[in-house]
Amino acid sequence: MKRPRLIYSWHAIPKVLLVAELLFMEKRQSSRNRNVFDSLMSEERIFKNREALSSTFIPSEFPHRNNEINDFANILKPALYGARPSNILIYGQTGTGKTAVTKFISDQIMQKAAKENKKIHTAYINCKQTNTPYGVLTNIGKTYSSEWEDVIPHAGWRIDK
């Protein structure tokens, strides 16, 4: 079996090396001009709406919660007529949508009140973070007026006051 012979000209080697060097330089230059995010942006996205994973996200629809939403709205409806609505106690297991539905209803009643020229205030307080009666009242006061910052101290009043 004959081995293939490589036939080359010593005159062609510098030209081949020059072409290889030019290709290498062009590739290096294009990688410098290329933004690292170019290839990432061309990839298919994993999430349609990454914001939906946020703890502050409020969906526009709540599957299987229509009855609860309607009950909630009926309890708060008197507020749109200037009357005091009944109290609401919401309880349930973690992750069942209590906070999301409450924020949704709060946004809905505020939109309706604005459209009807009614004055309604809502205050969202996370009681895991604000876990004292004084803290809850302080947050409610600060929600209604920024001037209350000076009136209601965050840490409470001194004993002699």
Residue-wise pLDDT tens digits, 5-52: 555 555 555 666 666 676 666 666 656 667 778 777 777 778 888 888
Domain match, 117 and 128 both: no
Whether 100 and 116 share a structural domain: yes
Residues 66 and 102 in one domain: yes
Q: Is the pTM of this model over 0.75?
A: no
Q: What is the CA radius of gyration of the chain?
A: 33
State the CB neighbour count (10 A cutoff) for residue 76.
19
- Count of the separate structural domains present in the chain: 2
Same domain, 75 and 100: yes
Q: Is residue 41 part of a domain?
A: no
96 and 81 fall within a common domain: yes
Here the tokens at position 97 are: 């949508």
Domain assignment of residue 80, yes or no: yes
Q: Which domain holds residue 158?
A: 123-161
Give the end-to-end CA distance of the chain in Å, rounded to a whole number. 108
pLDDT in tens, 47-84: 888 888 887 888 888 888 899 999 999 999 999 999 99
Q: Is 156 found in the same domain as 139?
A: yes
- 104 within 8 A of 69, measured Cβ to Cβ: yes
Asked whether residue 6 is assigned to any structural domain, the reply reads no
Asked, for residue 109, whether it belongs to a domain, the answer is: yes
